[in-house]
């Protein structure tokens, strides 16, 4: 009986122990689920990340951002534009919005940078420097100018030294930890083995390759060359060869080494590298996977992630340079065509002269008889007086040759004078009027010169005869001409 009681007690204790273990396992299961949810909550995509886009006007900044957004009809703004890009992590089924600030291409708007890049946003900002292949002679100059402007702005930020140094060290670490896609899965890879065996401090102590991060801004930088579809036009219209594009590329890559930047050649028109640029941005900002290796074979679709390049790889391009040297001044080799400068010079606004001002100036010129090619007589209608005769060097009014040229011109002068006064309502034969002269052509000239009176009837006869002669010989229009008409 005692043995049976002991067995029963042991069974009861075993049942209770089993029930207790099940309860503990159940609690542990719930704890693990809660811990997983909490960890996934901490791993959500952050919503405070920013991209700052800098570049000249017409460099394609707005079009490029619209392409990354998936927008077909981009809207251009001015000053400081703001947009956002939807980012989705399919692996964790999470999404967020990436803020994008686009600064106007005029450097005069640099004061607006304080709204896009301040001390609070500095550790969470990536910068894109944009230049267009449509102006290849200005690419390097534009990149250097915007990088210098950005550096000046960063120097003025109220950043403590610890934050500034941490951001710079993070740039160095990202460069040194770059591995080719596929090497991260290969335990025998030298790069993978180095990053696995060395701790963070030892990695930071490793020397950087030649020319890398000599100017460390503390920001992640990506250089984007847009409109690479224009390369075919440069080849056809400006006789660009492969060595010209290699010369440009090696200078741009050296600039990227200086700032520790990645490099992308893109074309929104032909949709080249735009999707890869989007993936690369999410990789650098949110640590999402990016498994595309460097692409340097196609000259219009270059892709170089930060950390891949070095001077030894760049020197491969030097082998293709035949008519130039790698260290030649950029603008001497990639020179701006003269036609472009002429187009700019023609864009001058021409203002038309006021009509009344023009007519007044012509009246003064006609009154002063400054133009010897005008009609042989020019009269100021505002001041009555004797008509001044002017000999014409090109015309002879007496084709018969029997009459002297001065007398023929005198008759003609009085004829026009009579027409003027007839038009204004004054009778050509009125006493005291300038047209009340008469007589033969020779007599008219002498009388006008002496200022004496002449016979008005003779003047009318001579004028009529002269008019009839001119009509027959010159076949001019009817005498409705004013004082500025040419005979």
Q: Which residues contact 228 (CB under 8 A, 6 or more apart)?
A: 133, 265, 266, 267, 272, 300, 301
Which of the four pLDDT bands, split at 50, 70 and 90, describes residue 405? very low
Which of the four pLDDT bands, split at 50, 70 and 90, describes residue 71? confident
* pLDDT value at 41 more than 90: no
Q: Ranked by mean pLDDT, which of 158-162, 347-351, 418-422, 465-469 comes out on top? A: 158-162
CB 289 within 8 A of CB 283: yes
Per-residue model confidence (pLDDT) at position 354:
87
Which of the four pLDDT bands, split at 50, 70 and 90, describes residue 423? very low
CB neighbours (10 Å) of residue 479? 16
* pLDDT value at 403 more than 70: no
- Chain length of the chain: 487
∠ CA 51-56-62, rounded to 5°: 50
Backbone φ and ψ for 220, nearest 5 degrees, come out as -75, 130
* pLDDT value at 294 more than 50: yes
Whether pTM exceeds 0.95: no
Tell me the C-alpha to C-alpha distance, in Å, between residue 372 and each of 359, 361, 366, 378, 443. Answer: 19, 17, 10, 10, 26
Tell me the C-alpha to C-alpha distance, in Å, between residue 84 and each of 51, 102, 285. Answer: 9, 11, 14
Per-residue model confidence (pLDDT) at position 11:
60
Cα–Cα dist 302/366, whole Å: 70
Strand arrangement, sheet containing 125-132: 80-89, 94-103, 50-55, 125-132, 220-226, 262-265, 303-304
CB 119 within 8 A of CB 157: yes
CB 81 within 8 A of CB 62: yes
Tens of pLDDT, residue by residue over 170-214, are 999 999 999 988 765 554 444 443 444 444 454 455 788 999 999
Backbone φ and ψ for 53, nearest 5 degrees, come out as -110, 125
What class is the 50-343 domain?
Answer: alpha beta
Cα–Cα dist 487/476, whole Å: 8
DSSP string, 175-186: HHT---TTGGG-
CB 127 within 8 A of CB 80: no
Q: Up-side HSE of residue 298: CA atoms within 13 Å toward CB? A: 16
Strand partners, 262: 222
CB 87 within 8 A of CB 75: no
Cα–Cα dist 324/243, whole Å: 8
Backbone φ and ψ for 225, nearest 5 degrees, come out as -100, 115
Which of the four pLDDT bands, split at 50, 70 and 90, describes residue 408? low
Cα–Cα dist 133/140, whole Å: 11
Per-residue model confidence (pLDDT) at position 459:
64
Residue among 81, 4, 89, 17 nearest 46 (CA): 89
* pLDDT value at 399 more than 70: no
Cα–Cα dist 485/51, whole Å: 72
* Domain chopping of the chain, boundaries: 50-343, 387-487
pLDDT (average), residues 418-437 = 49
Residue among 69, 93, 72 nearest 81 (CA): 69
């Amino acid at each position: 009986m005692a043995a049976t009681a002991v067995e029963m007690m042991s069974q009861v204790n075993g049942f209770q122990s089993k029930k207790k273990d099940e309860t503990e396992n159940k609690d542990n299961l719930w704890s693990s689920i809660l811990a997983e949810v909490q960890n996934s909550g901490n791993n959500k995509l952050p919503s405070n990340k920013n991209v700052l886009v800098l570049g000249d006007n017409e460099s394609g900044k707005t079009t490029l951002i619209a392409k990354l957004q998936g927008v077909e009809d981009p809207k251009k703004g001015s000053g400081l534009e703001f947009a956002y890009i939807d980012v989705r992590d399919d692996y964790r089924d999470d999404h967020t919005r990436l803020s994008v600030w686009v600064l106007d291409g005029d450097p005069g708007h640099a004061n607006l940078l304080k709204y896009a890049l301040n001390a609070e946003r500095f550790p969470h900002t990536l910068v894109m420097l944009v230049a267009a292949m449509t102006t290849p002679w200005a690419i390097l100059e534009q990149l250097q100018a915007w990088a210098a402007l950005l550096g000046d702005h960063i120097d003025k930020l109220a950043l403590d030294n610890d934050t500034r140094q941490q951001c710079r060290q993070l740039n160095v670490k990202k460069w040194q930890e770059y591995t080719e896609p596929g090497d991260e899965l290969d335990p025998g890879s030298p790069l993978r083995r180095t990053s696995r065996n060395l701790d963070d401090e030892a990695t930071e102590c490793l020397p950087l390759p030649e020319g890398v991060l000599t100017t460390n801004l503390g920001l992640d930088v990506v250089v984007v060359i847009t409109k690479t579809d224009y390369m075919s036009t440069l080849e056809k219209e400006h006789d660009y060869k492969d060595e010209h594009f290699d010369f440009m590329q090696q200078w741009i890559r050296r600039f990227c080494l200086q700032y520790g930047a990645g490099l992308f050649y893109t074309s929104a028109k032909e949709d080249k590298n735009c999707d890869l640029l989007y993936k690369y941005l999410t990789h650098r900002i949110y640590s999402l996977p990016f498994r595309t290796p460097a692409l340097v074979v196609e000259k219009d679709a270059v892709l170089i992630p930060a950390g891949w390049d070095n001077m030894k790889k760049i020197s491969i391009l030097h082998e293709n340079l035949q008519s130039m040297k790698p260290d030649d001044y950029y603008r001497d080799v990639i020179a701006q065509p003269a036609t472009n400068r002429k187009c700019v010079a023609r864009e001058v606004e021409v203002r038309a002269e006021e009509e009344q001002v023009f007519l007044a100036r012509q009246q003064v010129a006609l009154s002063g008889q400054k133009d010897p090619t005008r009609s042989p007589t020019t009269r100021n209608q505002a001041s009555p007086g004797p008509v001044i005769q002017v000999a014409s060097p090109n015309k002879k009014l007496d084709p018969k040759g029997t009459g002297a040229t001065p007398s023929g011109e005198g008759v003609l002068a009085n004829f026009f004078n009579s027409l003027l006064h007839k038009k204004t309502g004054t009778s050509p034969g009125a006493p005291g009027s300038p047209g009340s002269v008469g007589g033969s052509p020779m007599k008219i000239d002498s009388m006008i010169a002496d200022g004496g009176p002449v016979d008005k009837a003779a003047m009318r006869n001579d004028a009529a005869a002269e008019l009839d002669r001119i009509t027959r010989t010159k076949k001019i229009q009817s005498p409705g001409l004013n004082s500025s008409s040419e005979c």
